Amino acid sequence: MFVLEFVNEWTGRTACALQAALRMSNEGFAQHLGVAKRTVAAWHSKPDVTPRSEMQDALDTAFERASDSAKARFKRLIEPEGEPAVSDVGGDAVQALTIAIAVVVDETRVLIVCRRGEDGGGISWQFPAGMVKPGVPAERVAVRETLDETGVHCSVVRKIGSRLHPITHVQAEYMLCEYLTGEAQNMDVLENVSVVWVEKAEITRFIPPDQIFPPILEVLEIPE
């Protein structure tokens, strides 16, 4: 897998793309770089700004220490057709970057993936998801990412809802999807540990209920 080796000059836009690739909140990214949270917020509100030289060095170091999978995500985000969107707000600005999340159902089962941490350590169970590039429908991303990650073909039934993700602070669009065909398997071994179907009633054994978007629990008919 080819990954970008370096960034010639950082801007607010590419700094935000690195933050998204590392899947960090504004606060987490600020701590990672050793800067104030308002500095990260300023990059979101002023994507064309060029950080000062010492900040360029800090961003270089963060990029160099990132995993290959994070670098690959960063490369996809900064490609011309995939420049990250930013919101023109100040203070505790949130990312205008969007992810599409697929809740794929097959009768009594729901599809989930087990993601590995960037350091190869901690893991977490999640629904298949992918970054939405400007101009690309979230529905298309949900279907494509599910296939790319799991080998499962699905179609969108309807949109469940959207929210600002409480951990990543990225806008999340949730799609209810219907299973069509394909055997569930781990198609992305760099990011995922496993891909499985679980019974709807067992989903909270894998994902804590307080981390699941409440409308999803309603769709799966699971008491909150």
Asked if pLDDT for residue 79 goes beyond 60, the answer is yes
Which pair of structure tokens corresponds to residue 153? 């073909």
> What residues contact residue 218 under an 8 Å CB cut-off, 6+ apart?
none
Q: Which helix (H) or strand (E) holds 113?
A: strand 109-116
**Chain centroid, CA 20 distance in Å:** 7
Q: Looking at residue 95, what is its pLDDT?
A: 41
Dihedral sign, CA of 11, 16, 21, 26? positive
Distance, CA of 220 to CA of 81 (rounded, Å): 35
Q: Are strands 171-181 and 98-106 parallel, antiparallel or unpaired?
A: parallel
Which domains does the chain show, CATH number per domain?
A: 12-82 (no CATH), 98-219 (3.90.79.10)
Q: Looking at residue 93, what is its pLDDT?
A: 40
* Window from 35-39, 62-66, 105-109, 194-198 with minimum mean pLDDT: 35-39
Asked if pLDDT for residue 22 goes beyond 60, the answer is yes
Phi/psi of residue 209, each to 5°? -60, -30
Phi/psi of residue 110, each to 5°? -135, 145
Look up residue 122 and give its amino acid: G
Distance, CA of 111 to CA of 125 (rounded, Å): 10
Q: Looking at residue 6, what is its pLDDT?
A: 65
Q: 219: number of CA atoms within 13 Å, CB side?
A: 24
> What residues contact residue 184 under an 8 Å CB cut-off, 6+ apart?
111, 150, 151, 152, 195, 196, 197
Residue in the structure block whose two tokens are 């500095």 = 39
Phi/psi of residue 80, each to 5°? -50, -45
37 band by pLDDT with thresholds 50, 70 and 90: confident
Question: Are 109 and 199 a contacting pair, CB within 8 Å?
Answer: yes
**Full-prediction pTM beyond 0.85?**
no
